Chain A
Amino acid sequence: MSEILLSARHLCAFYGATRVLHGIDFDIVEGSVTAFLGANGAGKTSTLRALSGMIETTGEIRFGGQAVAGKTTEELARLGIAHVPEGRGTFSRMTIEENLQLGAMSRKDRAGIAADIERVDGYFPRLRERAHQQAGTMSGGEQQMLAIGRALMMRPKLMLLDEPSFGLAPLMVDEVYAILRKLKEDEGVSMLLVEQNAAAALALADQAYLIETGEIVMSGLAQEIGRDENIRRAYLGY
């Protein structure tokens, strides 16, 4: 029942000559939410970029049964990995509707795409109101929703989310996470969530990994990690 969707072994990642991930191992279970937690600069974003083929890597990555290390970003996207990047990656000069259509770029089923736009608008009614507005003029929270919506349009097997709470007011963070919870429970979307805001992430996640300076220092059930006061104080700052 719980299949491994993605697994990484001895994964190292490099920015030029600098190594930022030092041989990490992790598994993502299908239908679950996995959280990667850690301080600034720990290597969380680098992990996501490694999984999306955006930086140089060595080591093994298996996704849906295939070895995918070394594939290009667009190939990985077409295989079903939807990456919501740091900074949202919105096409700011284009309208909201165009941004969503771009999410469906690698799909061919027109009816399905139209249905999905309806579905996404259902999750994010604010987007429907502003369908023809330039995406770059929206607030941070709205852009985050748009970014998630665009990822959903890809009908992904796995969603990678890089700090969805970044720069958002607490109320907005709650709204975004409520939507992520809906996606998890109603649609069973598998997610890999990278966060500095550990509390919000742990409330949603099933599994959690703690990263520090490019190495995984702890892993386990999100609930247990969230309950352990020592871990929280040492690694998560609360």
Chain B
Amino acid sequence: MELVLSQILAGLSTGGIYACMALAIVMIYQAIDHLNFAQGEMAMFSTFIAWQLLHWGLPYWLAFFLTIGISFVGGVLIERIVFKPLKNAPVLSHIVVFIALFAILNSGAGFIWDFTIKSFPTPFGTTPLFGTLISSHDAGMISVTIIVLLLLYAFFRYTRVGLAMRATAANPESARLVGIRVGWMIALGWGMAAAIGAVAGMMIAPVVFLEPNMMISILLYGFAGAVVGGLTSPFGAVIGGFSIGIIENLSGFIPYVGRELKLTIALALIVAVLTVRPSGLFGRVIVTRV
């Protein structure tokens, strides 16, 4: 029993990672109505930038916020330079460009900073809390995720820009008709998603260590968490992320399941959830009159 409990708590701390990632994913989905497959690589690249700043001697929190700013600008630039010219291309072509972005960032990071594993510091220390079940970093990470979530919620619900962004994602043509500068809304969405991804990356790196491939499985788990939670719900994304973390750890109890199959189990459960509730657990079921 104690073993199960400790696995659940361990799942909560890895779940915090996935929740953070899932939040970034839902964020960009709200902004551009697409899933950004390069999200993880953008977060990874941002984390490398932070590492570089720290390497050059900047104090942690300065590097942290500077990286967020740089990532925001980077996100906006990527949208304006790479995706704007593709406005009229079909959806599937967009996805290929996401994939290309993934390859470019992954390869680029490896080229600039090489593939050796680096350590990344945490501002929260690593003192174990509640016995050895959860560390202070995990607690810090979960807190940061919740803060970002609350900020996002407030942004979308209570600000005009947030409303304009939601409108742009929902119906770009109508958004134009009321005077919303749709192009800039989309760019803003990208910038915000890049910034959130940077936060996620900097929170995750101390745990999984920094190297160009660090985000790939996390991105998958993050997607799974976002989809299970329902892509229209940042709250659901966070819950989804935590759930995936717990499921992943608990599936270690199933016989024959080594580390490799854990991901498969998690994904299989996602598919099962989706078959029963196609819009995810907390997703708003969109009612449209035909």
Contact = CB atoms under 8 A, between A and B. Distances in A.
Within 8 Å by CB, do A and B touch in the complex? Answer: yes
Interface of A: 52, 54, 72-74, 77-78, 82-83, 85, 89-94, 98, 101-103, 105-106, 134, 136-137, 150, 154
B180 to A, nearest CB: 5
Interface in B276-290: 284, 286-289
Given A89-B173, A93-B170, A77 B178 contact: yes
Contact of B288 (A54, A98, A105, A136): A136
Given A91-B171, A93-B170, A102 B178 contact: yes
Contacts of B163: 98, 101-102, 105
Contacts of A91: 167, 170-171, 174
15 contacts: A73-B173, A74-B181, A74-B182, A82-B177, A89-B171, A91-B174, A94-B166, A98-B163, A101-B160, A102-B167, A105-B163, A105-B180, A136-B286, A137-B289, A154-B179
A103 B176 CA distance: 10
A91 B180 CA distance: 13
Interface in B129-183: 160, 163-164, 166-167, 170-171, 173-182
A92 B284 CA distance: 12
B167 A94 contact: yes
B180 A137 contact: no
B180 A74 contact: yes
B103 to A, nearest CB: 33
A89 B182 CA distance: 15
A136 B289 contact: yes
B179 A105 contact: yes
B166 A154 contact: no
B179 A93 contact: no
B170 A105 contact: no
A93 B284 contact: yes
Please name the 6 residue pairs, one residue from A and one from B, whose CB atoms are nearest each other, closest first: A106-B179, A77-B179, A73-B176, A89-B174, A78-B179, A74-B176
Most buried by B among A72, A73, A90, A137: A73
Contacts of B286: 92-93, 136
B159 to A, nearest CB: 11
B39 to A, nearest CB: 23
A15 to B, nearest CB: 13
Contacts of B164: 102, 105
Contact of A105 (B173, B178, B284): B178
Contacts of A83: 177
Given A91-B171, A94-B166, A102-B164, A72 B287 contact: no
Specify the main secondary structure of chain B where it touches its partner.
helix
A163 to B, nearest CB: 15
Given A77-B179, A103-B178, A105-B180, 19 more contacts: A52-B177, A54-B173, A73-B173, A73-B177, A77-B176, A85-B173, A89-B173, A89-B177, A90-B174, A91-B167, A92-B288, A93-B170, A93-B286, A94-B166, A94-B167, A94-B170, A101-B160, A134-B287, A154-B179
B177 A106 contact: no
Nearest to A92: B288
Nearest to B286: A93
A137 B177 CA distance: 22
A101 B179 CA distance: 12
A200 B175 CA distance: 29
Contacts of B182: 74
Contacts of A105: 160, 163-164, 167, 178-180
Nearest to B161: A105
A137 B178 contact: no
Nearest to B289: A136
A85 B174 contact: yes
A85 B166 CA distance: 20
Contacts of A89: 171, 173-174, 177
Most buried by A among B160, B173, B177, B288: B177
Contacts of B181: 74
A101 B167 CA distance: 11
A120 to B, nearest CB: 14
Nearest to A88: B174
A177 to B, nearest CB: 22
A24 to B, nearest CB: 22
Most buried by B among A92, A93, A94, A134: A93
Given A105-B160, A136-B286, A136-B288, A77 B177 contact: yes
B140 to A, nearest CB: 35
A74 B173 CA distance: 9
